[in-house]
Amino acid sequence: MAFLELIGLTKKFGDAAAVSKVDLAVEQGQFVCLLGPSGCGKTTTLRLIAGFLTPDGGEIRVGGRVLSRAGSSEPPERRNMSMIFQSYALWPHMTVFENVAYGLRLRRLPKTEIQSRTDTILAVTKLHMLRDRYPGELSGGQQQRVSLARALVVKPETLLLDEPLSNLDANLREEMRIEIRNLHDQFRYTTVYVTHDQTEAMTTADLVVVMNQGGIDQAGSPEDIYKRPASEFVARFIGGTNILRGIRMGNDAVKCANGLVLRCDSGDFAAAGETAVSVRHHDIELKAERPPGDTNVVSGTVARQIYLGSHRDYLVEIEGGEKIRAVAPVSVDMPTGKSVWLYLAPEHCRALAR
């Protein structure tokens, strides 16, 4: 039995389902990211887990105990969970120390315990030097650190984070996500983290849950999701990819309208008829001469080339008019208008039936 279970979880606003029949099992101590585009239901799922919303269908269980089901929901304060918001939600009239200690005061713990637990967490989150400042006297990153300290001081079993870094600049975001993962590893609570940023999800999570239109398209390790996307949506959302369409040929190939036959070493060939094939930009080889072999090779013309320091980004128009994006080493320098060959190796071609 998993620690946190969502079973057929459904939430509607009016007639529209924001979350629809979601099933998810999270192990104790796991770091899970709910990842997906705006409006796909991530925040609603998180708020259901926190107990701020009551589901219309399905259940939420923690340690086998039902916390939410249709029409009834244990309130947030009775769940051993802390939530962190994008807006930090700090008390402006309280110092850093008072903000962090607030949750312990509410629990009426002895003064000495409040003092020592708050001191410890301020040290862990590198806030001890700022303990007497007010939120208005802190940078965005420092404020987010205070909200982390405040969430952790109550020793939650589960930490819920809703886009916690979206107000920070790129460098600070990178630093903070490493810190959030380090704190998770140090205290081993279960983390559910909502983000629309795939890099954030890939660098922090043990389990990435890709959501699409209120449901889960795929849940897996970052490597699974990247290397073995289960749907066209996941392939496109995680990393740059080309999607080519064709008709299935035998058990391992797809024939595109322009005659290009793509042998695919992986994917789903279960469905007959039209199949999409995903090939990542950086897995395509760009060549001046025709590579050997009858399959996975197509000719084209360079439509655009951008020099990006560490690589060149190409757009190649292939036979039939379709455009393929390919990332090549800087040493592969083909000018716009040049005739080229593309090799899409079978080990990088993944058939997607859905």
Give residues in contact with ligand ATP (CB under 6 A).
13, 18, 36, 38-44, 196
- In whole angstroms, give the CA distance from residue 295 to residue 62: 51
Closest separation in Å from C-beta 77 to ligand ATP = 21
Closest separation in Å from C-beta 35 to ligand ATP = 9
User: The tokens of 289 are what?
Assistant: 């001469």
Closest separation in Å from C-beta 42 to ligand ATP = 4
SS3 state of residue 322: coil
Return the half-sphere exposure (C-beta side, CA atoms, 13 A cut-off) of residue 205.
29
43 or 142: CB nearest ligand ATP = 43
SS3 state of residue 202: helix
Tell me whether strands 57-62 and 31-35 are parallel, antiparallel or unpaired.
unpaired
41 or 103: CB nearest ligand ATP = 41
SS3 state of residue 185: helix
Question: What are the C-alpha distances in Å from 48 to residues 17, 60, 74, 254?
Answer: 13, 8, 10, 42
39 or 293: CB nearest ligand ATP = 39
Closest separation in Å from C-beta 14 to ligand ATP = 7
Closest separation in Å from C-beta 234 to ligand ATP = 15
- What type of residue sits at position 189? Y
Indicate the length of the chain as a whole number.
354
Closest separation in Å from C-beta 58 to ligand ATP = 15
86 or 120: CB nearest ligand ATP = 86
Phi-psi region of 103 (alpha: psi -120 to 50; beta: other; left: phi over 0): alpha
Angle, helices 140-152 vs 170-187, to 10°: value is: 10
Closest separation in Å from C-beta 223 to ligand ATP = 24
Phi-psi region of 34 (alpha: psi -120 to 50; beta: other; left: phi over 0): beta
Close Cβ partners of 170 (under 8 Å, ≥ 6 residues apart): none
SS3 state of residue 154: coil
42 or 145: CB nearest ligand ATP = 42
User: The tokens of 307 are what?
Assistant: 């020099």
14 or 335: CB nearest ligand ATP = 14
59 or 197: CB nearest ligand ATP = 197
